[in-house]
Amino acid sequence: MWGLDHRGAPLRWDACEPIRLVLSEQGAPDHAVRDLTAALMVLRDATGLDLQLLGTTDERPRVDRPLVEDDGTGWQWRPVLVAWAQPGEGGIALTTLDRGVALPVSVRDGEQEAYVTGQVVLNAARTDLIDGFADRRDAIGATLLHELGHLLGLAHVEDVSQLMSTDPGSGPVVLGAGDLAGLRAIGAQSGCNPAPPAEAGRGLSPGRHPRPTDHHRQGG
């Protein structure tokens, strides 16, 4: 149900630090902040993780996005970038039919291994998608929940009643029992999981690190 770290445990974020996100405004629909905020609230409740939307940015997604930045006080892992992009932009593996793609980045430094940053890119060309959470297959809110689930460490499941199914079924957007169990396991109940120091990310690019990627095609 998730990737494993070098200890054989579910690979996850540090549950004792905020997970910071920024939204790229360019190409994002008017309801992007509302849907993203709602999705983050659902995931905060399900995981106990402190998911924080810091604000908006003009940064654009790219496959080789740097992992760290020096904010004047020292090196930091960069906030997760959430963006709407056209297929092919920035070298991101997003095809015409995908709803979105999640690119969490994990880093290991000795015994420390954790997700530290990442990108969630929704397909700006899928103008058929609707706002809110009314339908699992076609709603932006459902797509955000699913992709953010990947960002937090969940993989696909076969059961179409779960939002982490490769191709979620139709109907109102709710997390299934399996979704919730998975989110709890990678959440606060599992305790801290200190991330490597951000200095370890200098000079690294996500393109040189194997990481889960995700492709969502319109279901038949």
Residue closer to Zn ion by CB (options 14, 98) is 98
Give the residue with the Cβ less far from Zn ion, 80 or 200: 80
Ranges within 55-74 binding Zn ion (CB under 5 A): none
- Determine the Cα–Cα distance for residues 167 and 149; give it in Å rounded to an integer: 14
- Min. distance of Cβ 93 from Zn ion in angstroms? 13
Residue 190 and residue 15 in contact, taking contact as beta carbons nearer than 8 Å: yes
Site map (CB under 5 A) of Zn ion, residues 155-194, x = contact: ----------------------------------------
Amino acid at 72: G
Only one of the segments 52-60, 103-111, 184-192, 206-214 lies at the binding site for Zn ion (rule: CB under 5 A); that segment is 206-214
> What element of type H or E holds 108?
strand 100-109
Binder among 4, 214, 219, 220 for Zn ion (CB under 5 A): 214
Distance separating alpha carbons of residues 18 and 192, to the nearest angstrom = 11
* Host H or E run for residue 143: helix 140-152
98 part of the interface to Zn ion, by CB under 5 A: no
How many residues are given for the chain?
220
**Residue range at the interface with Zn ion (CB under 5 A); choices 65-73, 117-125, 186-194, 212-220:** 212-220
81 vs 142 by CB, closer to Zn ion: 142
> Angle 140-152/32-47 helices, nearest 10 degrees?
40
Shorter beta-carbon distance to Zn ion: residue 197 or 219: 219
Which residue is nearest to Zn ion, using beta carbons? Answer: 214
Min separation Cβ 150 and Zn ion, Å:
6
5 neighbors 113 (Cβ within 8 angstroms): yes
C-alpha closest to that of 176 among 49, 48, 50, 46 = 46
Closest approach of Zn ion to the CB of residue 211, in Å: 14
Q: Please, what is the minimum distance in Å from the beta carbon of residue 87 to Zn ion?
A: 16
Strands 112-123 and 19-24: unpaired
Which residues bind to Zn ion, rule: CB under 5 A? Answer: 214
